[in-house]
Amino acid sequence: MSVLSKYVDRIAETCEQNGLTKHAFSYALVTSAIVALTIKVTIPYVIQNSQHGSIKKAKTKVNNNGALTPTETNGDGSEEDLQLAEAEKLLVAQQLKKKTTIEPGLNKAFLKQLGMLVKIMIPQPLCYETGLLSVHTFCLISRTFLSIYVAALEGALVKFIVRKDIRQFALVLLKWFGIAIPATFVNSMIRFLESKLALAFRTRLVRHSYRLYFKNQNYYRVSNLDGRIENADHRLTEDISVFASSVAHLYSSLTKPCFDLMLIGLALMRSSRKMKANILTGPALSVSVIALTAHILRVVSPKFGQLVSEEANRYGYLRHIHSRIITNAEEIAFYGGHRVEMHQLRQAYNRLVNQMTTIFNQKLWFIMLEQFFMKYVWSGTGMIMVSLPILTGNSSPSAGPLTDRDNSAHAESSVSERTQYLTTARNLLISAADAIERLMSSYKEIVALAGYTYRVAGMMDVFEETSQGIYCKTSVAQSDDQSNGIIEFRNGKPIAKGRIIYTDDPKNMSISLREVPVVTPNCDIVVPKLTLCIEPGIHLLITGPNGCGKSSLFRILSGLWPIYAGELHIPRPVEDVPCMFYIPQRPYMSIGSLCDQIIYPDTRDDMKRKKITEDELRHILKLVSLEHIAQRDSFDVVRDWKDILSGGEKQRMAVARLFYHKPRYALLDECTSAVSIDVESSIYEIAKGMGITLLTITHRPTLWKYHTHILEFDGLGNWQFRKMSSNEQQAEKFKPQTTS
């Protein structure tokens, strides 16, 4: 700094010699500094706006064409970058189209969302969280009192040093050490309670969102039927955790400085009064300076909420790509697709880095300005505030004749008093400045919190809507013309007008569909109207070309896909006898032991309640020719069954589940395609013998003979439901692969 000022002095002298006054030079210097600062502050906004404009143009292109055809590239990103951005945004584009889209920031919507989340985190006035909050608040207030006491002690220490009073000095020093024990304990307690509070909030939020996530098969609906949340896992883990921590942190970083300011202000006023000075000038000056600087900071502050929300989006996308690679590792390895995958991973990472760099860049200038105000402008104001009582105070000796000795004693005492006042006031001011700095930087945290609030509250809103059957997907056919009047739309969203009716009549255990259309989540109509009745004992074979809607029918029967019209009548499941049990082509292996695989989705307790023994499980395994697995391992051994069992073994394990649950209807979706024909035949025989009605999708003619009826789709929306002729049942003899 001194080198710089010498350099400036030298230039000023040179200018003076050339006829320019020192005044004119300093005006020019200050003006150019202000102009430079203005340019620095405004340029990021100009760049940001122009980038926003170009991305918007590209987005319009996508929305208009309904395809990813970005034509614009911005300065720092390639076309590929933009494509990736669009891929990230594709699933939330529906939301962006809506006029009601809320941008994360410090606004009414944020307060509403925060209020909603606070109600979840603190469900009632008297609960564990309010207990924690009360203890935390008590610790925060105690810490403020301790700070004031320590400042007073330090003032007294200096006073006794100036007075050379060793005895008093030693006494106060002892007190100072004594206070250190509770002070450090309270400090540590504050951090401990903040972590406990964050964990308690997180637990409440996690419990609530898990409840919603598993309500009405939401975990399926959110990722398959709705397009607003791409990475629910990221929101359920990372976002909730960061949100809870930042709420807990904000509580202490907002309340503690407020207490500090209040009590320190009072303490400062008291010491000003002691110095017989005006107690209002100092605080009035400091309040005006702080209000002004705070306003400037607010105006120039970058939109940290949006920036943080976008960063979380990109981070979520990166994790999503990672988890896709882990899930599909074998397929990628067989294809040798590592180059493509790595490229996508790099792109996603680069986009995250770009966003983080933008945030760092924005922070650089903002923090510089913030520090300038807080460290220099405020310190200067503090110095004026502290010196005012001494400079304007009336501490002259009282009237009356005084000897020289009296005068010198009085002078000595008032010097030590003033030193004590200055030291105490300085310490208090440092604490107050620290408190204000924390309050100001909390603003940044609040804005960042707005980003997380937007993501967490948005997730809960989507969960609520999807659980009620309200979906939003990007590429849905949104007009009645496109859907031929089969689907009705309201506010651009399709309405599921169809009804599921559960029948309780034990004499009527049939499944019947009445004019139910098969509609995909994108609102493509696969079959316009389907009417059929499946009685127990009607073993139905479902055939048709690929993509004709066979599996979709199962999704509708299981209640996974909404019914847009007509009626579906199904028997109400009674305890221990499920109505339908679905077995997919790619069986799902759960985490757990061999026993857990067979009884899934039952638990061990359910199994005990049903009084099923391990011998019975062994028998079930024998029925599907898997007894060797039980011989190899015990039923309790936990393994990664997904990797340990072969494709055919996994399919047989899934059939073992069917034999364990013995449902009324089995929905078999090519579930034995990898099982040898002899085992497959015996499985079908046993299932029929158990009284299970089969609804089978298969391309194998060998299975036709186990069925009595056939449902044929032609792939154009037409279908035929009829009894099979005896010739068709013997199809395997003369019709090796045909379906319809």
483 lies in the site for ligand ATP, by CB under 6 A: no
Q: Stretches 65-73, 129-137, 290-298, 515-523: which one binds ligand ATP (CB under 6 A)?
A: 515-523
The correct pick among 218, 510, 520, 625 for binding ligand ATP (CB under 6 A) is: 520
* Min separation Cβ 534 and ligand ATP, Å: 18
State the Cα–Cα distance between residues 276 and 709, nearest whole angstrom.
103
Closest CA to 598 of 665, 540, 655: 655
Q: Is 100 exposed, middle or buried (0-12, 13-18, 19+ CB in 10 A)?
A: exposed
Which token pair is 96?
Answer: 């962006």
Closest CA to 721 of 516, 571, 533, 500: 533
* Min separation Cβ 583 and ligand ATP, Å: 14
526 lies in the site for ligand ATP, by CB under 6 A: yes
* Min separation Cβ 103 and ligand ATP, Å: 29
* Min separation Cβ 470 and ligand ATP, Å: 17
Q: Stretches 185-193, 345-353, 383-391, 521-529: which one binds ligand ATP (CB under 6 A)?
A: 521-529
Which three-class secondary structure state does DSSP give residue 484? coil
* Min separation Cβ 585 and ligand ATP, Å: 8
The correct pick among 548, 557, 583, 607 for binding ligand ATP (CB under 6 A) is: 548
State the Cα–Cα distance between residues 700 and 737, nearest whole angstrom.
7
State the Cα–Cα distance between residues 323 and 519, nearest whole angstrom.
29
Looking at the Cβ atoms of 223 and 442, the one nearer to ligand ATP is 223
Q: Stretches 46-54, 120-128, 352-360, 540-548: which one binds ligand ATP (CB under 6 A)?
A: 540-548
* Min separation Cβ 66 and ligand ATP, Å: 15
The correct pick among 257, 382, 521, 587 for binding ligand ATP (CB under 6 A) is: 521
Distance set, CA 214 to CA 219, 234, 403, 591, 599 (Å): 6, 16, 90, 18, 20
The correct pick among 48, 54, 441, 551 for binding ligand ATP (CB under 6 A) is: 551
User: H or E stretch including 533?
Assistant: strand 525-534
Looking at the Cβ atoms of 382 and 549, the one nearer to ligand ATP is 549
* Min separation Cβ 341 and ligand ATP, Å: 23
Q: Stretches 39-47, 180-188, 518-526, 625-633: which one binds ligand ATP (CB under 6 A)?
A: 518-526
* Min separation Cβ 53 and ligand ATP, Å: 34
718 lies in the site for ligand ATP, by CB under 6 A: no
Q: What is the DSSP letter of 487?
A: S
Closest CA to 479 of 468, 487, 470, 471: 487
Cα angle for residues 537, 542, 547 (degrees, 5° grid): 155
Q: Count CB atoms within 10 A of the CB of residue 623.
A: 19
Looking at the Cβ atoms of 419 and 585, the one nearer to ligand ATP is 585
Q: Stretches 10-18, 159-167, 539-547, 634-642: which one binds ligand ATP (CB under 6 A)?
A: 539-547
Q: Where in 252-291 is the site for ligand ATP (CB under 6 A)? A: none
* Min separation Cβ 716 and ligand ATP, Å: 12
β-pairing, 567-571 vs 511-519, is: antiparallel
* Min separation Cβ 76 and ligand ATP, Å: 35
Looking at the Cβ atoms of 699 and 735, the one nearer to ligand ATP is 699
Looking at the Cβ atoms of 91 and 526, the one nearer to ligand ATP is 526
* Min separation Cβ 633 and ligand ATP, Å: 33
* Min separation Cβ 644 and ligand ATP, Å: 27
* Min separation Cβ 228 and ligand ATP, Å: 15
State the Cα–Cα distance between residues 477 and 90, nearest whole angstrom.
16
Is the bond into 736 cis (omega within 30 degrees of 0)? no
Q: Stretches 156-164, 514-522, 687-695, 703-711: which one binds ligand ATP (CB under 6 A)?
A: 514-522
522 lies in the site for ligand ATP, by CB under 6 A: yes
User: 439: Cβ–Cβ under 8 A, 6 or more apart, which residues?
Assistant: 253, 254, 257, 258, 261
Closest CA to 500 of 433, 442, 573, 451: 573
CA atoms in the 13 A half-sphere facing the CB of 198: 20
Q: What is the DSSP letter of 101?
A: P
DSSP 545-586: STTSSHHHHHHHHTTSSPP-SSEEEEEPPBTTB-SEEEE-SS
Looking at the Cβ atoms of 310 and 670, the one nearer to ligand ATP is 670
Looking at the Cβ atoms of 168 and 551, the one nearer to ligand ATP is 551
The correct pick among 382, 549, 587, 663 for binding ligand ATP (CB under 6 A) is: 549
Looking at the Cβ atoms of 521 and 701, the one nearer to ligand ATP is 521
Looking at the Cβ atoms of 255 and 702, the one nearer to ligand ATP is 702
Residue that has been written with the tokens 């340990």 in this structure: 644
The correct pick among 546, 726, 737, 738 for binding ligand ATP (CB under 6 A) is: 546
Q: Stretches 91-99, 481-489, 516-524, 721-729: which one binds ligand ATP (CB under 6 A)?
A: 516-524
Looking at the Cβ atoms of 228 and 550, the one nearer to ligand ATP is 550
Q: Where in 202-231 is the site for ligand ATP (CB under 6 A)? A: 224
State the Cα–Cα distance between residues 194 and 248, nearest whole angstrom.
6
Distance set, CA 547 to CA 526, 633, 713, 714, 716 (Å): 8, 40, 10, 10, 10
Q: Stretches 73-81, 134-142, 288-296, 541-549: which one binds ligand ATP (CB under 6 A)?
A: 541-549
Which three-class secondary structure state does DSSP give residue 698? coil
550 lies in the site for ligand ATP, by CB under 6 A: yes
552 lies in the site for ligand ATP, by CB under 6 A: yes
Site size with ligand ATP, rule: CB under 6 A = 13
* Min separation Cβ 586 and ligand ATP, Å: 11
For CA atoms 462, 464, 466, 468, give the dihedral sign.
negative
Looking at the Cβ atoms of 429 and 518, the one nearer to ligand ATP is 518
* Min separation Cβ 522 and ligand ATP, Å: 5
State the Cα–Cα distance between residues 702 and 679, nearest whole angstrom.
12
Q: Do 264 and 431 form a contact (C-beta atoms < 8 A)?
A: yes
**What proportions of the chain, in percent to the nearest 5, are helix, strand and coil?**
65, 10, 25
Q: Do 512 and 569 form a contact (C-beta atoms < 8 A)?
A: yes
State the Cα–Cα distance between residues 224 and 381, nearest whole angstrom.
60
Looking at the Cβ atoms of 231 and 552, the one nearer to ligand ATP is 552
Closest CA to 311 of 352, 366, 280, 272: 352
State the Cα–Cα distance between residues 150 and 145, nearest whole angstrom.
9
Looking at the Cβ atoms of 453 and 698, the one nearer to ligand ATP is 698
Q: Count CB atoms within 10 A of the CB of residue 410.
A: 15
Q: Where in 290-349 is the site for ligand ATP (CB under 6 A)? A: none
Q: Binding mask 157-176 vs ligand ATP (x if CB under 6 A, - otherwise)?
A: --------------------
Which three-class secondary structure state does DSSP give residue 102? coil
DSSP 621-684: HHHTT-HHHHHHS-TT-EE-HHHHS-HHHHHHHHHHHHHHH--SEEEEESTTTTS-HHHHHHHH
* Min separation Cβ 546 and ligand ATP, Å: 3
* Min separation Cβ 475 and ligand ATP, Å: 9
494 lies in the site for ligand ATP, by CB under 6 A: no
Looking at the Cβ atoms of 526 and 540, the one nearer to ligand ATP is 526
Q: Do 163 and 416 form a contact (C-beta atoms < 8 A)?
A: yes
Looking at the Cβ atoms of 482 and 551, the one nearer to ligand ATP is 551
Provide the binding-site residues for ligand ATP, judged by CB under 6 A.
224, 520-522, 526, 544, 546-552
